[in-house]
Chains A and B, each alone.
Chain A
Amino acid sequence: MSLLAQFQFNCTIYILLPILLMENISTIKKIIWLRLAQVIVNQRYKNGDFKVPVHLAMGHETIAVAIDAIMATHDSLFLTHRNIHYNLVKMGTLREELDEYYLRNDGLANGHLGSMNLSNADKNINYTSSILGNNLPVGCGYALGNRVRNNHGVVFIVTGDGAIEEGAFYESLLFLKSNNLPCVIVVENNEWSLATRISERRANINLMKLAESLDVEYMLLSGNDPFDYQDKMNKNKQKALENSSPVIVEVQLTTLGYWYLKNDEHPDGKFINYHGGPAPEVEEQEYPLLASSNDDPLFVLNKYLSKDELFQISNELSFQLKEELS
C-alpha cells in the first residue's frame, strides 16, 4: 500500500468509523476485550495462580456481549459454572474478577464465591450455580417474583447442552409456561459435557420440537455475528415480554482452547476438548485469534473491520488492561 493509499485508508477509518460504526465499534471492542481478558486469566492460571477452578469461555464472547447489550435495568441474569464471559462483560474491568479468583477480600464477591458461583447483583447477575440445571428453577422463582412485584423485567437464564438433560430444564420450562412468565432461556450448545460429545452420551434432543410441544418460541443462533445476535436476542426478549412466555434460544458455539495430544499412542494427535482449567496452548498475542473460522468470534469480526483495524483495537485494549492491572 502506497503512502497516499495508507493515508486515504486511515482517513476512511477515522472519518467514516465514527459515522458508520461508532454504535457498533463498542460491540467489537467488547468482544476483543473479553478475549484479551480471558487470555490474561488463562496465563495466570497456567502459572498456577488460582486455587479455584475456572471455566474459560473463549469462543462464547458473542452471545455474552449480545445479552449484555440488550439487558435493561429490570432484567436479570442467571448463570452457570462457565460464567466468566458474562461477569467480565457486565463489569467491563478485569481486576475485581481476578481478585475474586485469588479469593481476596477486595474480589468481586469478597472472595466468598470464587469462580463457579460468581454472581454480581449490582450488575443484575442475580444467581450463578455450579450445579447442572440448578439455576433454572431459581430463575423461575425470580421471574415469578417479578410478577408479584409488578416488575416488567425479563429473566435471562443461561444453561448448556448438558443441563438440558436434567429434569430441572423441563420442569422449569413447564413452570414458566404454566405461569406465563417472560424469560429467555439461552442454551449455550458447545456439543460437549466434560469429555463426551452429545453423540457419545445421549440421543439427540430436538429443542425446537420440545419447545413446540409446550407452545414455546424457539430460535437457533449460529455463526457468531455480533450484530445478528444482538438483533435476534432483542427480538426474543421482546417476544418474551409481549407474549408473557419463555423463549428458548439455542446458541451453537465452540469452546476454544482445545488442543491435540501427541504421544506414542496418538502419533497423529488426539483431540482434547477444553472444559475447564488452563488452556495449555493459548498464549498472549497481539490479536488473540484462536481459530480461523466462524467458530471464533474474533475471526467473524473480519467481516466488519480490516486486520489492521482489529490489531489496532486489540493493542489499545491490551494496553488498557495492562494499565488496569499494573
Chain B
Amino acid sequence: MKYVQYVNSLLKDHIKDNSDVVLFGQNIDAGSCLSGLTRGLSSVNEGMTLNTPNSENSLVGVGFGLMLNNVSSVFFMKQMDFLLLGIDQIVNTYNIIRQSTPQASFTIFPVTVDSGYEGPQSSLNNFDDFCSIAGVEGYSFTNKIDTQKIISSQLIKPGFRILSTGQRFLQKETLELDCLAEGDDCHYFQYKKGDDVTIVCFNLSLSYGLELHKIMQERGVCASLFSVNTHIEVIYPHIMDDIKKTNKLIIIDDTKSRNRVSDRFLAEVYSQNSLQKNVNITRPVTEQSFYPCDDLLDIDFNKVVEDIVT
C-alpha cells in the first residue's frame, strides 16, 4: 500500500471513532483531496467537513476559535510553507489559549515539502521552527508503526499540536519496521538494538539511519537505531541509557531549520556524558540550497562508519 493511502486509512479509522470533529482546509473534499491524503474523510466524518477559502492565517484562528467553543477540529494543509501565514495565530493566539486547559482538540496537519525541486519558495522543511517559536507540540512520522501510533494518540486529544509527514514518502510504498521500544507520548521510537553505536534520527531522516545501520551491520558494527518524532521535547531517558552504553553517537537531522531540536538534544547528551565518538550529519545551507535541486542529504555512509569506529 502506498504511504498516502495508509495515512488516509488511519485518518478515516480515527475520525470515524470521533464524532463532532470539524475537518477543514483547502480542497480537502474536492479535486485530488490533497493528493489523496484526505480523500473520503467526509464520508466517515459525522461532524462537519469544510472546503475552505485560501485564507491560512484566518483558518488557524478558526481552529483556535472552535477550541474556545469546545469544538475539536483538524486543519489539513497541502504544504507546510502555507502555515507561515498563520504564525501570528500559532504564537499570539495560542499564548492565550494555553493559559486555560482546553478540553477540545486542535490539530494542524500540513505536509512537509521535502523534495527540494519547488525552488526558493514552497520547499520549507523547518518543522522545528514552527514548534520552537511558541513551544508547540509537533510530531513528524515516516513509517507504518510511528504513523499509526501518532495518529491514533495525537490527532484528536485535548490541546493543540502540529502533525506532519514528508511529501517524498507519500507516493512510495509504506515503510514497515519492527518497533522495539517507544518513548512516552510517542516522542521517539527504537527500531534496532546494538552495543557498538547509537544512531538517533530527527525530523524525517529515519531512512538515512536505516541505510547507515545496514552498512554498519555489513561491516560487523552493531548499532541501536532511534527516530525522534517530537520537535519540542529533548529528554529521552531510554536513548540516553543507550548512549551511555555505546559511548558513540551519530545524529542525523535533515531539517533546514537553524533551530534544530537535535542540537538541543546533543547539548543534553554532553551535559550527562563524555562521548568517545560523535558524528553529526545535518544539512549544510549554501546558495545552492535555494535553487531547485534534490533535497536529499548527501551522506558518505562509508566515511561515517570509518569516523565512528576508528
**A148-B71 in contact (CB<8A):** yes
Separation of A69 and B49 alpha carbons in the complex (Å): 35
Q: Does A93 contact B (CB under 8 A)?
A: no
Q: Does B118 contact A (CB under 8 A)?
A: no
| Interface-facing stretch out of A3-11, A132-140, A238-246, A313-321 | A132-140
A129 neighbours in B (Cβ, 8 Å): 92-93, 96
B57 neighbours in A (Cβ, 8 Å): 137, 167-168, 171
Residues on B close to A: CB < 8 A?
A: 20, 22, 47-48, 50, 52-53, 55, 57-71, 88-89, 92-93, 96, 99
Q: Does A13 contact B (CB under 8 A)?
A: no
Q: Does A175 contact B (CB under 8 A)?
A: yes
**A141-B99 in contact (CB<8A):** no
**A127-B96 in contact (CB<8A):** yes
Residues on A close to B: CB < 8 A?
A: 112-113, 117, 119, 126-127, 129-131, 134, 136-149, 151, 167-168, 171-172, 174-175, 178-179
**B68-A171 in contact (CB<8A):** no
User: What is the predominant secondary structure among interface residues of chain A facing chain B?
Assistant: helix
26 example contacts (A-B, Cβ-Cβ < 8 A) are as follows A127-B68, A129-B96, A130-B92, A131-B88, A134-B89, A137-B57, A137-B59, A138-B61, A138-B65, A138-B89, A140-B62, A141-B64, A141-B65, A142-B65, A145-B66, A148-B47, A148-B69, A148-B71, A149-B69, A167-B57, A168-B58, A172-B61, A174-B55, A175-B52, A175-B58, A175-B62
Separation of A162 and B180 alpha carbons in the complex (Å): 56
B64 neighbours in A (Cβ, 8 Å): 137-138, 141
**A141-B66 in contact (CB<8A):** yes
Rounded to whole Å, the gap between the CB of A244 and the closest CB of chain B is 15
**B71-A149 in contact (CB<8A):** yes
A134 neighbours in B (Cβ, 8 Å): 61, 88-89, 92-93
Rounded to whole Å, the gap between the CB of A292 and the closest CB of chain B is 40
**B61-A145 in contact (CB<8A):** no
B55 neighbours in A (Cβ, 8 Å): 171-172, 174-175
**A141-B63 in contact (CB<8A):** yes
Query: Given A131-B88, A138-B68, does the pair A144, B62 have CB atoms closer than 8 Å?
Result: yes
Query: Given A137-B59, A137-B61, A137-B89, does the pair A142, B53 have CB atoms closer than 8 Å?
Result: no
B89 neighbours in A (Cβ, 8 Å): 134, 137-138
- Please name the residue on chain A nearest to B54 by beta carbon: A171
